[in-house]
Structure 1
Amino acid sequence: MDLRKKRHIAIDRAINELRSGRPIIINNKSENWIFYGIEHINDKFLSQITSKKSKSLNAFLTNKKMLDLSLDKISYNDQTRIPIQISDIKWLKSIHTRKINRSDIIKFKKIKLLKTPLFLNDMIDLAKNAKTIPCLIGCLINKKSINHSIMVFKSTEIKMQNKLISESTKMVSESTIPIKQDYNAKIKVFKSFIGGLEHVVLCLGKPNNNKTVNLRIQSACLTGEVFHSMKCDCGEQLNQSIEYLSKNGGGYIIHLEQEGRGIGLKNKIRAYNLQHKGMDTIDADRTMGFVGEERDFSIAVKILKDLGVKKVNIITNNQDKIKALKNSKISIAKKIATYTEVNKFNVNYFASRLIKMNYNIKLK
């Protein structure tokens, strides 16, 4: 088996272990580290592990969470390592799902920051790709104490995850699907074989891939597209895009399984709960340790290249999508805006996206 294929399998398995709530072990040179995701932590198991060694437990938090906890500027890369006791785990869980208070900041200021191995950035990526809260509990363990039911990976096997996930994306099925705007529309399903997420391409009309093609890149939004939530404009954007394609020579809608701007459905609903308590959509994501925009549009680029599309009219208000396409040498002939209606449930959502994200919005 070539090294690249071996890494594909390792990353896929590591993601699924964390997603399922199981710990994993990372071998980094002569060291062995065991990691649990914060939302699936098992205190009894940790007590057994830590009783067999002298090293302390550590928590690994993202830089966005560190900003949430610290009033001062601190030096860190993508994540930071802090020493903890098992009794701290309940507190760590809680600060990822609620607003930080003064006592949290005082408690944090007393904690000494530790030097972090570089592969821990890849571990945070694994947690994000598993759609779990990106906070890990880990410690060094003696190789002799390793439970053989726990999967072991080399630190070199979990690098460049997002690039390999995109490359692993391939079409797995297709069919005709009659929709209101096109009785002969086509649907294609693409699967990312690393991580297992499935994405959909809806094709209206007969777009000529050798010419400019109309395109909408839509991220999944169960609440907006299916249940017509009034907190966002995702359903409106999808419907307007389908209408535009049907009246302007057809084209593609790439529907990415990137719920909640890439954080996953359960975390999105956690964010909804934080918003209900007064946070805006960006701060709610950052409270959980996310950056506010976790989507990876390289998957859409891979799909476009598989379709043979090189030049597009893009339907979007998101400048990050435009940048991702341009950086991947997909030419943009025209940008078409979508329009949204403001209501009392979404006005703060749009205000925070305008102010804090690379986003332009056309309001009705």
Structure 2
Amino acid sequence: MRQVERSIFDLRRGLPVLVRDARDDSARATLVAPLEGMNDDALARLAEHAGNDCALALTRHRLALLGIEVDDEAACLPLTTADSAASVIEWACARQPSAAPARDTREITDNDAAALTLMRRGLLIPAAITVPVAPERMATVEARIADGSLLALDTRSIANYEQNAPRFLRRISAADVPLAGSEQSRFVLFREADGMREHVAIVIGEPEEWADAVPVRLHSACLTGDLFGSLRCDCGEQLRSSVARIAETGGGVLLYLAQEGRGIGLANKLRAYSLQDEGLDTVDADHVLGFGDDERNYNVALEMLSQLEIRRIELLTNNPNKIDAMSRGGVTVVQRSGVYGRLTAQNRRYLTAKAAKAGHWLDHVLGTAPDDVPATDN
């Protein structure tokens, strides 16, 4: 656990880590580095330290933008010494790279796939520089591991961390916080094992007075909408209306989840906003950056509900994925109720894409005029 957590922080600082294939002792270890902060000198040092040419691991969504179709979820573009860091970064995240790479991809290894998992976990662009370490360079790399200047971890620990991290969610603190829509509210803060994400359960009313099917809202954090009232979405209105509705029905829980931008993080959400300003919808913008339709999972929400001893719920949502996630996780969704904000000229395209591409139940909303009708949930 600790090695994975430490490696995430190193990658977010722009430092490389070493990944070993836990299932194949004969496989080469791989140096892995993020795109953020990459320059020509850093790219050359990676190749020199490993004694091999680097490669760029990309998801199929990003490769499709480059005109490369692959059957797997990701593949690698081999790099040469002639490739500049600026070109590599363009291939990974620019909407229209000045020149697409004219070369064949190679199949992704377990080490490469683990590198992409680490990038996602660290809320970085889902792309990685990877380079297998040549046998003659391994002694030098091992010396760096021994002196603490390079972290090493294996693919099994990364997979186990991704699967089991929600089980290590800890309840940290709690306090009564009267809200405008619900004066009897208590905030309970949960922290993930790596310390990067904190989630809040807003417990409304007295649990012993709740309905058998507890009203629950899963609300993904939206700094721009929740705090600043962005017109690009309706998240702030949903947040406040959910609190008020739960209070009116006798109490329940709103889970405020640190899943900004459908799980891609604030930095990438702002990158996606810039792409949307160039004409892309919300889903296509995420694809350009290499992400899927929706990067969220709700395992943390399930763990929070478990610690709050909630098993039967009325789910406040228009998102079918949330219902499926709760049901698969052993929480019984007795009833679904919609949660709405206003449809505006600025959020219509966003909501239309969510209805058409993510299956949100919005037909009756999108058929009406902006500014005076309800919109959707995040």
> How does the TM-score come out when normalised to structure 1?
0.91
Residue 318 of structure 1, CA deviation: 0.6
Deviates further, 213-222 or 236-245: 236-245
For residues 241-272 of structure 1, give each alpha carbon's deviation from its aligned partner in whole angstroms, at most 9, with x where no partner exists: 01101110111000000100000011111111
Q: Identify if the C-alpha distance between structure 1 residues 300 and 276 changes in structure 2 by more than 3 Å, giving closer, same or farther.
A: same
Query: Do the aligned partners of 2:169 and 2:191 also contact (CA within 8 Å) in 1?
Result: yes
Q: Identify if the C-alpha distance between structure 1 residues 181 and 48 changes in structure 2 by more than 3 Å, giving closer, same or farther.
A: closer
Query: Do the aligned partners of 1:168 and 1:194 also contact (CA within 8 Å) in 2?
Result: no
| Residues 1:27 and 2:30 aligned together | no
Q: Identify if the C-alpha distance between structure 1 residues 353 and 310 changes in structure 2 by more than 3 Å, giving closer, same or farther.
A: same
Residue 42 of structure 1, CA deviation: 3.9
Partners of 1:44 and 1:240 in 2: CA distance: 52
- Given candidates 87, 93, 99, the residue that maps to 1:91 is 87
* Secondary structure at the counterpart of residue 313 of structure 2: strand
Q: Which residue of 1 aligns with 2:370?
A: none
1:10-159 maps to which residues of 2 (within 5 A)? 10-28=3-21, 29-30=25-26, 31-51=28-48, 54-70=51-67, 73-76=69-72, 78-86=73-81, 87-100=83-96, 104=99, 107-108=100-101, 110-141=102-133, 142-146=137-141, 147-148=144-145, 149-159=149-159
* Secondary structure at the counterpart of residue 338 of structure 1: coil
Residue 10 of structure 1, CA deviation: 2.1
Q: Which residue of 2 aligns with 1:248?
A: 249
Residue 210 of structure 1, CA deviation: 8.3
Partners of 1:51 and 1:244 in 2: CA distance: 60
Partners of 1:173 and 1:160 in 2: CA distance: 27
Residue 54 of structure 1, CA deviation: 4.8
How many residues are treated as equivalent by the alignment? 351
Q: Identify if the C-alpha distance between structure 1 residues 52 and 199 changes in structure 2 by more than 3 Å, giving closer, same or farther.
A: closer
Partners of 1:69 and 1:244 in 2: CA distance: 46
The one-letter amino acid paired with 2:11 is L
Query: Do the aligned partners of 1:210 and 1:310 also contact (CA within 8 Å) in 2?
Result: no
1:288-307 maps to which residues of 2 (within 5 A)? 288-307=289-308
Partners of 2:333 and 2:283 in 1: CA distance: 28
Q: Identify if the C-alpha distance between structure 1 residues 310 and 51 changes in structure 2 by more than 3 Å, giving closer, same or farther.
A: closer
> How does the TM-score come out when normalised to structure 2?
0.88
Query: Do the aligned partners of 2:176 and 2:185 also contact (CA within 8 Å) in 1?
Result: yes
* Secondary structure at the counterpart of residue 207 of structure 2: coil
Q: Identify if the C-alpha distance between structure 1 residues 52 and 34 changes in structure 2 by more than 3 Å, giving closer, same or farther.
A: closer
Deviates further, 116-125 or 44-53: 44-53
Q: Which residue of 1 aligns with 2:221?
A: 220
Query: Do the aligned partners of 2:46 and 2:54 also contact (CA within 8 Å) in 1?
Result: no
For residues 319-356 of structure 1, give each alpha carbon's deviation from its aligned partner in whole angstroms, at most 9, with x where no partner exists: 10000001112111111101232222111101111111
Partners of 2:182 and 2:49 in 1: CA distance: 65
